[in-house]
């Protein structure tokens, strides 16, 4: 048993923090209010610097350190929630898809650029009312010579408007495959960026494909069963869990600083129990969530039969705690919290996404209960 970070884990977190300098706030303001081009510029800039400190290689190389990954992710999510999700979808979803399931040629083509932050990628999974638990994919490819003609619709694809490459989950002769397609390919149209409640600096849109050509050398799969879809979902859940920690930390530190510096009745408002006790509850949720998320990450590297159940527990607890902590932070900031552009109101809007995206809290709870019912 050991509750301390290792030297390597601590170093990576420090390096991630070191990437961001004095012009960071200005960059992120552009990210939150910018158009697709502005977002692309900011994301590309930080992908390169994060690549230089080794942040992007995690999960793409042999040797696991999921706890270290979560710690580093938390560090980034504390600094910019939107950048965090863009980077993670690129590195830990698109990148891992290639690293885990790709061919040797695909790996040698994509991985060096991904590790150094020279390309932006994404994976298009969701369709219409589809969830991977109950509904099949409708997007499908038909082989014509050395390529596939892919047709289908994808919803809510993070990074789609700014991506260089998009991996489309679909079917080929009833088996699951991923068609990796270059953006702006013929037959591929990226919808207008969707305005969202939170994570405003994250570019998200629909994708439609009509006889879009995908070269067979860029096809990943085919796979028996739906295991890769489920695996991608666990990666997503892990990102959202770490993102929840970053969000909570960001909101908590903002509220703590405000409560220590804002005075009322000649004393800092933290001295009032109505404020101070809220901060105590927020820190309690944050620390409890951290330990649970780290333990879930640690379990991912063991053969424990409860690994999946604990990962769902972490996803639900961290995501729901994030909303609570953001809400309390906003309350402490009072009128300042209600004004656009502070971490508390931003966190409050963002928090809902964490409960909806990946495995929703509803589905997570049902899966946890399924695990519990097997206990006895």
Q: How far is the CB of 268 from another protein (least distance, A)?
A: 11
By CB under 8 A, name the one of 288, 334, 339, 341 that touches another protein: 288
CA distances for 276 relative to 96, 271, 282, 284, angstroms: 42, 6, 10, 12
Q: Which residues, 6+ apart, have CB-to-CB distance to 308 below 8 Å?
A: 234, 367, 371
By CB under 8 A, name the one of 53, 100, 283, 360 that touches another protein: 283
Give dist(CA 240, CA 31) in Å, integer: 20
Give dist(CA 132, CA 172) in Å, integer: 17
Give dist(CA 60, CA 87) in Å, integer: 14
Please tell me whether residue 280 binds another protein under the rule CB under 8 A: yes
Contact stretch for another protein (CB under 8 A) within 122-130, 153-161, 297-305, 332-340: 297-305
**Residue of 126, 110, 140, 131 lying closest to 205 (CA atoms):** 126
First to last CA, the chain: 28
**Residue of 244, 204, 207 lying closest to 39 (CA atoms):** 204
Please tell me whether residue 1 binds another protein under the rule CB under 8 A: yes
By CB under 8 A, name the one of 273, 303, 305, 335 that touches another protein: 273
By CB under 8 A, name the one of 37, 105, 281, 340 that touches another protein: 281
Q: Which is nearer to another protein, 216 or 257 (CB)?
A: 257
**Residue of 121, 134, 207, 219 lying closest to 175 (CA atoms):** 219
84 DSSP 8-state letter: H
Q: Which of residues 218-257 bind another protein (CB under 8 A)?
A: 256
Q: How far is the CB of 374 from another protein (least distance, A)?
A: 8
By CB under 8 A, name the one of 240, 310, 333, 351 that touches another protein: 310
Q: Which is nearer to another protein, 5 or 223 (CB)?
A: 5
Q: How far is the CB of 9 from another protein (least distance, A)?
A: 8
Please tell me whether residue 43 binds another protein under the rule CB under 8 A: no
Task: Give 16: exposed, middle or buried? Use CB within 10 Å, 0-12, 13-18, 19+.
Answer: buried
Question: Is residue 117 a contact partner of residue 58, using CB atoms and an 8 Å limit?
Answer: no
Q: Which is nearer to another protein, 95 or 246 (CB)?
A: 246
By CB under 8 A, name the one of 279, 326, 330, 332 that touches another protein: 279
Q: How far is the CB of 284 from another protein (least distance, A)?
A: 5
Q: How far is the CB of 73 from another protein (least distance, A)?
A: 14
Q: How far is the CB of 15 from another protein (least distance, A)?
A: 18
**Residue of 171, 165, 220, 211 lying closest to 188 (CA atoms):** 211
Q: Which is nearer to another protein, 292 or 329 (CB)?
A: 292
x/- mask, another protein, residues 342-371, rule CB under 8 A, reads ----------------------xxx-xxxx
Q: How far is the CB of 148 from another protein (least distance, A)?
A: 40
Please tell me whether residue 295 binds another protein under the rule CB under 8 A: yes
Q: At CA 101, angle to CA 47 and CA 318, rounded to 5?
A: 60
Q: Which is nearer to another protein, 62 or 302 (CB)?
A: 302
Q: Which is nearer to another protein, 215 or 271 (CB)?
A: 271
By CB under 8 A, name the one of 136, 144, 287, 341 that touches another protein: 287
Q: Long-range contacts for 133-140 (Cβ within 8 Å, ≥24 apart)?
A: 133/363, 136/171, 137/169, 137/170, 137/171, 137/176, 138/171, 139/168, 139/169, 139/170, 139/171, 139/209, 140/170, 140/171, 140/172
SS3 at position 213: strand
Contact residues toward another protein (CB under 8 A) are 1-6, 9, 67, 256, 270, 273, 276-277, 279-281, 283-285, 287-289, 291-292, 294-295, 298-299, 302, 309-310, 313-314, 316-317, 364-366, 368-373, 375-376
């Amino acid at each position: 048993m050991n509750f301390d970070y290792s030297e390597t884990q601590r170093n990576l977190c420090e390096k991630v923090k070191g990437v961001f300098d004095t012009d960071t706030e200005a960059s992120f303001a552009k990210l939150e209010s910018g158009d697709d081009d502005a977002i692309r510029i900011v994301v590309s800039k930080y992908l390169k610097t994060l690549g230089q400190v080794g942040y992007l290689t995690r999960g793409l190389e042999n040797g696991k350190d999921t706890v270290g990954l979560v710690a580093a992710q938390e560090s980034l999510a504390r600094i910019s929630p939107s950048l965090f999700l863009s980077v993670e979808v690129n590195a830990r979803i698109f990148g891992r898809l290639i690293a885990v399931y790709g061919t040797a040629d695909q790996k040698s083509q994509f991985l060096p650029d991904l590790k150094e932050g020279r390309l932006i990628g994404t994976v298009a999974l969701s369709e219409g009312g589809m969830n991977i638990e109950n509904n099949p994919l409708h997007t499908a490819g038909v082989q014509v010579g050395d390529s596939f003609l892919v047709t289908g619709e994808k919803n809510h694809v993070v990074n789609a408007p700014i991506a260089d490459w998009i991996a489309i989950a679909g079917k080929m002769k009833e088996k699951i495959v991923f068609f990796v397609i270059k953006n702006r390919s013929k037959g591929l149209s990226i919808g207008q960026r969707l305005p969202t409640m939170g994570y405003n600096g994250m570019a998200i849109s629909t994708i439609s494909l009509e006889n879009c050509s995908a070269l067979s050398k860029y096809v990943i799969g085919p796979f028996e069963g739906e295991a890769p879809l489920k695996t991608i979902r666990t990666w997503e859940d892990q990102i959202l869990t770490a993102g929840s920690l970053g969000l909570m930390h960001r909101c908590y530190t903002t509220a703590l600083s405000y409560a220590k510096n804002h005075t009322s009745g000649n004393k800092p408002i933290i001295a009032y129990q109505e404020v101070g006790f809220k901060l105590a509850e927020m820190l309690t949720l944050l620390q409890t969530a951290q330990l649970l998320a780290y333990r879930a990450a640690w379990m991912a590297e063991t053969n424990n039969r409860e690994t999946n159940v604990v990962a769902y527990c972490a996803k639900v607890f961290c995501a729901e705690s994030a909303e609570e902590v953001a809400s309390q932070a906003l309350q402490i900031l009072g009128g300042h919290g209600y004004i656009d552009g502070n971490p508390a109101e931003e966190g409050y809007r963002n928090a809902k996404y964490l409960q909806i995206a990946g495995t929703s809290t509803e589905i997570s709870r049902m899966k946890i209960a399924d695990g519990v019912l097997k206990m006895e």
